[in-house]
Structure formats: structure tokens, C-alpha cells
Structure 1
Amino acid sequence: HGYKALAVQGDVSKKADVLQLVEKTVSSYGKVDVFINNAGIEQVKPLEEVSEEEINTIFNINVFGVIYGIQAAAQQMKKQDGVGKIINACSIAGHKGFDMLSVYSATKFSVRALTQAAAQELAPHQITVNSYCPGIVGTKMWERIDKEMGKYSGAAEGESFKAFSKAIALGRTQEPEDVANFVSYLASSDSDYMTGQSVMIDGGVIFS
């Protein structure tokens, strides 16, 4: 009963690992219908204090990882006579740069650009490329952001998260399920006529 899953260990900042992920998936399941570039890291720090090593680490995962994922997925989907869905994890920080999250914001703007460019290149093969842009979600990542913000502002634990959450028009913090439901839509046939879009699923923080 249920579904079988395959776990493949790898580092998305290494192209060989991403290619291996696709190869092992095809070996087990025969094809790749949907590929989600979901890995990402954040950093809270004033821009002037960010080191070269930190910049490289964030870009290697958040940007190069997405590039390698698109390349690997597109290569396989074309072998399947095209048709497939590539989904990228973006962020509201890909629509508006946030202070103290400058490098992270830059990587997410990059994901938006990659989504648009790849969508145009892959459209002739009926491969769609879209991104989802979460907002303020109750996850470990936001717990880290809250703590790091507090170190610089002096705010007590939880206060920075509350301050960000006040900007949510719907009046509640986002749950992971809110994001998962939209990603399910992007992975389904309901989104077949949609490509090149980076859609905010944030409860009303950023309006476009």
C-alpha cells in the first residue's frame, strides 16, 4: 500500500551528484516527470560583514544547485520526448530584497531569472519551469532567522519572527502545508499551461 520512495544522498552544489540523482531515479522508476529544486540556505548578516567564503557557499547551493538541477532534469526530460515539470524554490526575497538577508535575497532574485530563462528555452519541448515563493513559514529556517536577527537587534527570541508576521495580510503565520499544496498544483496537470512564473504564496506580504 502507498508509494515507494528512493533516497539518494548528494550535494546539490556538485553537478555530478545532481546528475547521479536523476540517473538513479530513472534506473528505479524509468523516467522523471517532475523535478523540484528545493535545497536552500539562508544567512542573516549585514552586507558589509559577509565574507567571500560565505557568499560562495550560499550561491553554490541556492543558485548553482538550481542550475545543475534544471540541466539534469531537462536533459532527461528531453530524452523522454519532452514534457515535464521543473519547479524551483524561490522566496518573497526573490521579489523584494530584505536587509540583513542581502546575499540570500540576491540568490532568490537569481532563481526568478533562471526560472524565466529556462522556461523560454524549454518551452519548445513542452517542459514547464515555475517557482514557488513562500513567505514567513513556521519552520526551523525561520527559527534560525529569528535568533540571528535578535543577535543584531537585541530582540528577545521570537520577537523578530512576530515582527515579520505582522506584515501578513491574512493574519496568520504560514504553515508548510500551505506551501506543499501549491507545489502539488505546480506538479499536477492543472498547471500545464503555466510556465516562467514565480508565484508568491505568502498570505499577503508582497503584492505584485
Structure 2
Amino acid sequence: MTTAVVTGAGRGIGRAIALRLARDGHAVAVNDVDKSTAEGVADEITAAGGSAIAVPADVTDREAVFALVDRTARDLGSVDVMVANAGIAQVKPLLEVTRDDLARIVDVNVFGVVWCLQAAAERMIAQGTGGKIINAASIAAHSGFAYLGHYSATKFAVRALTQAAAKELAQHGITVNAYCPGIVGTDMWDLIDEKLGSYLGNERGETLAQYSQLITLGRVQTPEDVAAFVSYLAGPDSNYMTGQSVMIDGGIVMS
């Protein structure tokens, strides 16, 4: 059985990814900074007959991320897939972004991805059987969005890290790709709707409705839509794919 680590898996997209990978037959290490939500998702997986452990950790803490990978390998046998999903957003005009704002979002969205990349690659190289590293990017990794400029910058960084890591790790049989969701029905988008609406003069729900008009397929994305693509990236059908940051957004940003 292959083993996957999913960070930020206590809710939203991360939870959907953890549940989907478990259904695909992976043992799953469910990580979240919130211990109770991580345990809840791990319990869902085991109750359905899957194999899972909950490993609370803050992805901004490099030592904690390496410990997460070490525990996963010890308890589940290996680390074959790393899904660096944990991330945060903040809605704010660039002219108002503070040092603390920027430090926090970079710490989670960029440093967190780097630490996951390093810890997983080190383990996969030692195992000698290759592996798959999958990073959370965004449509904001391809097009910078107003009032989400510093968030967009972190996702552009994830895209660059994905490309560079793919080139460096190919010799070890490790592929590195990223998924780029659009407007997803999660707590993060509830926050974006509320905060962005305050700048645009919209009532709650109006901004989400406005932006949803950009979706070619005509509906807001579900976490399960994202998880289905991550399932592909984590499986053998994507073995010849690396260095890609792929839009899975219902047709908002096309390239």
C-alpha cells in the first residue's frame, strides 16, 4: 500500500483530498494545525475501512514538518505522495499590506510548501522508489487578482518552486506538480466573499455570485472536484507529467 501525506487536511479541499486518496487505496497521514479536525478526518477514513493516522503540525515549522514525515514513514511504512495543501488567504489592497501580513502569508504558503518539499524528497530519495510531490497553487498562480496581490504572489512562488523542484528531483524518480483551483465552496471563499465585498461595496454573497459568472461551466467548484484531479496526480496515470501547475477551475483562466 502506498502512503500519502496531506497537509491542511482537517477541512475544505484538504479533507476532500484525504478522503479521496484513502478511497483510492492510499494509507493517509492527515495533517492539520488543528488536532481535533485532523483526528476527525482520520476517523472518517478508518470508519470507512481505510488506513489513516492524524498528525497535527504547523507547516511553518520546518522541524515539525520533518517530524510529520518521519512519523508517517514509521507508522504507515513509507511516504510515497506528499500533498502540500495547507494555505491561507488574505484580502487587502497592496497599498495597505503590512510587514506582518506579508510575513504570515509567505510563511504558510511558501515556506510551508518548501518544508514539505524538502522533507518528502529527502524521505523518497532514501526509500529509492521515487514518489509524487503535489503542491497547492491557484488560478492566482497564473493571473494576479486585485485585493489578493500578496496571496497571488505566494501562489506564483509555488508555481516556480514546482518547476524548479521537478527539474532537480527527476533524477530520483520524483515528479512534482501543482493543482490550481478557482472558486471553491469552502470557508476560505466565504472569507474572500466577505472581505472582498467590503472593498467592492457588495453584500455578503454578492461578490461570490459576481465572480462565479466567470466560470465557464456555470457552477461553483466543490472540494471533491479538486480532489478528483489530485487523485490523478497521485496515481500512476500521471507518471509522465512533471513541473506542471494545472488549472482545475471550471474554465475561469484558460491558457
Judge same fold: TM > 0.5, yes or no: yes
Computed over aligned residues only, the root mean square deviation of the Cα atoms, in angstroms, reads 0.8
Please give the secondary structure, in 1, of the residue aligned with 2:247.
strand
Report the AA paired with residue 200 of structure 1: M
- Which residue number corresponds to residue 36 of structure 1? 83
User: Could you report, residue by residue, the CA deviation over 1:156-201 in whole angstroms, capped at 9, with x for unpaired residues?
Assistant: 1100001110000111111111100000000000100000000000
Alignment: residue pair count: 208
Please give the secondary structure, in 2, of the residue aligned with 1:6.
strand
User: Could you report, residue by residue, the CA deviation over 1:15-64 in whole angstroms, capped at 9, with x for unpaired residues?
Assistant: 00100000000110121010000000000000010110110000000000
Please give the secondary structure, in 1, of the residue aligned with 2:60.
coil
- For residue 165 of structure 2, the aligned residue among 85, 94, 118 is 118
- For residue 218 of structure 2, the aligned residue among 155, 162, 171 is 171
Report the AA paired with residue 188 of structure 1: G
- Which residue number corresponds to residue 88 of structure 1? 135
- For residue 13 of structure 1, the aligned residue among 36, 56, 60 is 60
CA displacement at 1:80 relative to structure 2: 0.8
Give distance in 1, aligned partners of 2:97 and 2:131. 38
- Which residue number corresponds to residue 184 of structure 2? 137
1:59 aligns with 2:106: yes
- Which residue number corresponds to residue 185 of structure 1? 232
Q: Percent of counterpart pairs with the same letter?
A: 59
Greater RCO (Cα-Cα under 8 Å, separation 6 or more): 1
- Structure 1: 5+ residue stretches without partners: none
CA displacement at 1:153 relative to structure 2: 1.7
User: Could you report, residue by residue, the CA deviation over 1:62-113 in whole angstroms, capped at 9, with x for unpaired residues?
Assistant: 0000000000000000011141000000000000000000000000000000
- Which residue number corresponds to residue 158 of structure 1? 205
- Which residue number corresponds to residue 43 of structure 2? none
TM-score (norm 2): 0.81
TM-score (norm 1): 0.98
